Amino acid sequence: MKIRLAVIFSLLVLLALPLTHNICSAQDKATVGVLKIHCNDRLMGHFIADTLATDLAKIKSLNVVERNALNQVFSEQVLSEEGLVESLQAGTGQAMGLNYVLIGSATAVTTETWNSYSKKYNYNSKVSLNLKLIDAYDKLGRIVWSGQRTVENYTDDIVITANEAAYDLARQIYDEFPVRGYVIKSSKGKIYVDLGERDGLKEDDKLIVEGVAETLIHPVTGEEIVTKQIAGELKVREVYEDYCIAEVKEDSLRVYPGDMVKRQIAKKPKAIFGLGWSGKHEF
């Protein structure tokens, strides 16, 4: 009886593995879960985590798991990297289809000083945010990306400061997971690319063409190593659901079907007169 149960269990595992692989291949996106951010202000930690999840969800090359669903699976007692690694070793992340888990810590402080000249208090809010992206399939909890950002504003609104710190680090994460596509046709100055509205593209977006510089052969393994270089830049002129039409910005640039492109992240929106951040979360 035990042997029969063991055989049935093994078959179920074998059947489940390719199914999981097919799901990942079909969506061709990395799935990320944002765990709570440990902060000296508990509510601010939750706010920063929610802001990060919202911002990352705008990056069309990522799937973001809803945080309430995460909390039902991951124990809120995961207070350290060691605890997270143990949870990942138990298969918690894989069970949710996660590729990566984002963890972090923050300090949020508002100070006030009396200004004897203006007879008013001067306020200063400061948020320091540290993030780590952990490979959910690595049993040792390998860190694949880390970032740190400190934002200081002369205001008593700590929420605005935390918002900017989270947004700046989300922009850094985009650099690790840019929206990528391929040139499918080049005709009479028009470049057709398999990226469109579904990928978050807009008119006037910039696409960076990554050309092949050289193909190297590893002397030991015999593996082909393709080195890439930035060949040039395209500007999007027309956007449709699943493709766009762009134009070459430099006459000397030659673009061919099969060339890889990546969407350049939008510039950080500036406030009025170009002073500071506008508060808009654009990518």
Closest by CA to 62, choosing from 102, 25, 28, is: 28
Q: Is residue 8 part of a domain?
A: no
Let me know whether 32 and 171 are in one domain.
Answer: yes
Let me know whether 167 and 192 are in one domain.
Answer: no
pLDDT of residue 163: 97
Burial of residue 36 (CB within 10 Å: 0-12, 13-18, 19+) is buried
Q: Is residue 15 part of a domain?
A: no
pLDDT of residue 81: 67
For 184-217, give the secondary structure using H, E and C.
EEEECCEEEECCCHHHCCCCCCEEEEEEEEEEEE
Checking DSSP bridges between strand 62-64 and strand 30-39, what pairing results, if any?
A: parallel
Let me know whether 118 and 188 are in one domain.
Answer: no
Checking DSSP bridges between strand 120-135 and strand 100-115, what pairing results, if any?
A: antiparallel
Domain that holds residue 191: 180-263
Please report, for the domain that includes residue 218, its CATH number.
Answer: 2.40.10.410
DSSP states along 21-84: HHHHHHH--EEEEEEEEEESSHHHHHHHHHHHHHHHHTSTTEEE--HHHHHHHS-TT--SHHHH
Let me know whether 170 and 214 are in one domain.
Answer: no
**Among residues 149, 177, 205, which one ends one of the domains?**
177
In angstroms, how far is CA 93 from the centroid of its own chain? Answer: 17
Rounded CA gap, 21 and 16, in Å?
A: 9
Q: Is residue 5 part of a domain?
A: no
Q: Is residue 17 part of a domain?
A: no
- Decide if 166 contacts 104 (C-beta within 8 A): no
Q: How many CB atoms lie within 10 A of CB 68?
A: 7
Let me know whether 118 and 215 are in one domain.
Answer: no
Let me know whether 173 and 208 are in one domain.
Answer: no
Q: Is residue 129 part of a domain?
A: yes
Q: How far is CA 24 from CA 28, 98, 170, 262, 263, in A?
A: 6, 10, 23, 21, 22
SS3 state of residue 115: strand
pLDDT of residue 13: 36
Q: How many CB atoms lie within 10 A of CB 164?
A: 22
Let me know whether 93 and 209 are in one domain.
Answer: no
Rounded CA gap, 24 and 133, in Å?
A: 19
SS3 state of residue 137: coil
Number of domains observed in the structure of the chain: 2
Let me know whether 89 and 207 are in one domain.
Answer: no
Let me know whether 103 and 50 are in one domain.
Answer: yes
Per-residue pLDDT of the chain (283 residues; tens, 9 = 90+): 444 444 443 433 333 433 333 333 333 799 999 998 999 999 999 999 999 999 999 999 999 999 888 877 776 545 466 778 888 888 888 888 999 999 999 999 999 999 989 899 999 999 999 999 999 999 888 999 999 999 999 999 999 999 999 999 999 999 999 999 999 999 888 999 999 999 999 999 999 998 766 678 888 888 888 777 678 899 999 999 999 999 998 777 889 899 999 999 999 999 998 889 999 999 9
Let me know whether 61 and 138 are in one domain.
Answer: yes
Q: Which tens digit of pLDDT belongs to each residue from 135-182?
A: 999 988 899 999 999 999 999 999 999 999 999 999 999 999 999 999
Let me know whether 195 and 162 are in one domain.
Answer: no
Q: Is residue 268 part of a domain?
A: no
Q: Is residue 33 part of a domain?
A: yes
pLDDT of residue 23: 30
pLDDT of residue 98: 94
Let me know whether 88 and 228 are in one domain.
Answer: no
Radius of gyration (Cα) for the chain, nearest Å? 23
pLDDT of residue 213: 61
Please report, for the domain that includes residue 82, its CATH number.
Answer: 3.40.50.10610
Rounded CA gap, 75 and 52, in Å?
A: 20
- Decide if 38 contacts 106 (C-beta within 8 A): yes
Helix axes of 42-57 and 158-176: crossing angle, nearest 10 degrees:
40
Q: Is residue 273 part of a domain?
A: no
The dihedral through the CA atoms of 254, 257, 259, 260 has a sign that is: positive
Tally of CA atoms within 13 A in the half-sphere of 150 that contains its CB: 5
Burial of residue 73 (CB within 10 Å: 0-12, 13-18, 19+) is middle
